């Protein structure tokens, strides 16, 4: 296992290029199952989660070739409808194969993903929607067994605007008979990206990006060449890092429109932010960091995947702030580690009350989930002394060579063996 060692106190300066979005690449790579023939995807980030989904797709019979950030997938040989526990447990987004497998092979046997550090994360809404499309659903021995001769369009209402639930059902409905309406659908940019690619494949999807999506089923889809959108959470992470260290960082190849919630909050903290085309420049305030309250919400609200990173900023802001986590029931695991670094945080229900301190102090800390690991790296950048972040395999699931990108911005940071 690796650890990352950060020596705090340096201001970040320079340019950082954002990679492809993990949470767009995962459903888009899975969508290759919906068509015969070779799909080519560019700007695919090199991440552990991408490796996991590639091994799952080849387990199902797809042929996969990778070269740099380009991945080619040909699912003409799709023959296996089972996603085994040992693959799904490594990456819960594997459940995204459920809809496409039922649509293409008329059946699927997919391991239930189980919980994860940040919450129970059930998939009941995925299953309810699939049943409404006519699939028979059984749960046996920790597996979902779904089957349907041909899925039939229906009017589906999501109790919660689930991101992967919307993606799963959008893919299933693309090949169903008739029209499907998804109501209270999630609106994340990653869903828009998936729908745009499905439409390029011949699907007929309208309204995506709003909370009502209509999908007119077609009999077949064809393969495409496409590029993955930039990762808004990676971009947001570097924006916070620049403000946190009083730096001057330009984030390039990003999509500022996907970051309005983060830009809005960072401006209130005193960041000097300028947006130009696909770049965002964030200069740290010369008069310290103002505190601001944040509530995580479904897109276009403030993203839950930026909550931990923003909490680090608030832990050294002036005064009190309240961060409420409304999406996941256990997404404050990073708090105990930040408190070991001197942060003054009290948790009350789904809210954290943060009293800014002048400076954090370096300590050995443990990463527990993807975004919490990023927040601990940020804390190390701002802390007095040298911080060691352990179990960084969590980090490698969602950030490509993050320590190299931070080092190129002037951070004293390196990876080492545990």
Looking at the chain, the number of H-run helices and the number of E-run strands are 14, 24
Q: Does 416 bind ligand EPZ (CB under 6 A)?
A: no
271 and 284 Cβ atoms separated by less than 8 Å: yes
Candidate list 119, 142, 204, 276; residue touching ligand EPZ; CB under 6 A: 119
Question: What one-character-per-residue DSSP string does 123-160 give?
Answer: -HHHHHHHHHTT-EEEEETTEEEEE-SS-B--EEE-SS
CB of 355 to ligand EPZ, least distance (A): 27
Tell me whether residue 116 is one of the annotated catalytic residues. yes
Q: Does 371 bind ligand EPZ (CB under 6 A)?
A: yes
CB of 24 to ligand EPZ, least distance (A): 8
Candidate list 327, 372, 376, 413; residue touching ligand EPZ; CB under 6 A: 327
Helix then strand then coil, % of the chain, to nearest 5: 35, 30, 35
Ranges within 380-399 binding ligand EPZ (CB under 6 A): 398
The residue from 5, 116, 359, 401 that is catalytic is 116
Candidate list 8, 23, 101, 262; residue touching ligand EPZ; CB under 6 A: 23
CB of 126 to ligand EPZ, least distance (A): 5
188 and 200 Cβ atoms separated by less than 8 Å: no
266 and 240 Cβ atoms separated by less than 8 Å: yes
Name the segment binding ligand EPZ (CB under 6 A); options: 103-111, 134-142, 158-166, 274-282: 158-166
Three-state DSSP state, 64: strand
- C-alpha to C-alpha distance for 118 and 408, rounded to whole angstroms: 31
CB of 327 to ligand EPZ, least distance (A): 5
CB of 88 to ligand EPZ, least distance (A): 13
**What is the contact mask toward ligand EPZ in residues 290 to 309, using x (rule: CB under 6 A)?**
--------------xx----
Q: Is the bond preceding residue 300 a cis peptide, omega within 30 degrees?
A: yes
240 and 311 Cβ atoms separated by less than 8 Å: no
> Other CB atoms closer than 10 Å to residue 220's CB: what's the count?
11
Q: What are the residue numbers of the active site?
A: 116
Interface residue list for ligand EPZ (CB under 6 A): 22-23, 26, 93, 119, 121-126, 160, 162-165, 186, 304-305, 327-328, 370-371, 398
């Amino acid at each position: 296992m690796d650890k990352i060692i950060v020596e705090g106190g340096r201001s970040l300066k320079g340019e950082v290029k954002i990679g492809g979005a993990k949470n767009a690449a995962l459903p888009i790579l899975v969508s290759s199952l919906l068509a015969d023939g070779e799909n080519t995807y560019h700007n695919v980030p090199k991440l552990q989660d991408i490796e996991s989904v590639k091994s799952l797709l080849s387990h199902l019979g797809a042929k996969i070739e990778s070269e740099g950030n380009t991945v080619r997938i040909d699912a003409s040989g799709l023959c296996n409808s089972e996603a085994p526990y040992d693959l799904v447990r490594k990456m819960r987004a594997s459940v995204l194969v459920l809809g496409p497998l039922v649509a293409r092979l008329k059946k699927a046997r997919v391991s239930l993903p189980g919980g994860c550090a940040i919450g129970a994360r059930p998939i009941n809404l995925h299953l309810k929607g699939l049943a409404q499309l006519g699939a028979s659903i059984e749960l046996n021995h920790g597996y979902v067994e779904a089957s349907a001769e041909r899925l039939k369009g229906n009017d589906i209402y999501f109790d919660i605007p689930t991101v992967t639930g919307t993606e799963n059902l959008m893919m299933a409905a693309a090949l169903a008979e008739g029209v499907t309406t998804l109501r209270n659908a999630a609106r994340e940019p990653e869903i828009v990206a998936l729908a745009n690619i499905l439409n390029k494949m011949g699907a007929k999807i309208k309204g995506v990006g709003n909370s009502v999506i209509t999908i007119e089923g077609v009999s077949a889809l064809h393969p495409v060449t496409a590029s993955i959108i930039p990762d808004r959470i990676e971009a947001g992470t570097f924006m916070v890092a620049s403000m946190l260290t009083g730096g001057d960082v330009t984030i390039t190849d990003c999509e500022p429109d996907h970051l309005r919630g983060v830009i809005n909050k960072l401006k209130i903290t005193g960041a000097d932010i300028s947006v130009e085309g696909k770049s965002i420049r964030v200069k740290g305030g010369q008069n310290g960091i103002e505190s601001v309250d944040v509530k995580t919400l479904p897109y276009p609200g403030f993203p839950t995947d930026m909550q931990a990173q923003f909490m680090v900023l608030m832990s050294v802001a002036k005064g009190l702030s309240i961060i409420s986590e409304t999406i996941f029931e256990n997404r404050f695991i990073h708090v105990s580690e930040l408190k070991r670094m001197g942060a003054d945080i009290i948790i009350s229900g789904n809210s954290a009350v943060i009293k800014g301190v002048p400076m954090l102090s370096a300590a050995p800390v443990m990463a527990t989930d993807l975004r919490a690991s990023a927040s601990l790296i940020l804390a190390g950048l701002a802390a007095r002394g040298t911080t060691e972040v352990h179990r960084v395999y969590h980090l490698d699931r969602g950030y490509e060579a993050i320590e190299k990108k931070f080092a190129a911005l002037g951070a004293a940071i390196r990876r080492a063996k545990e």
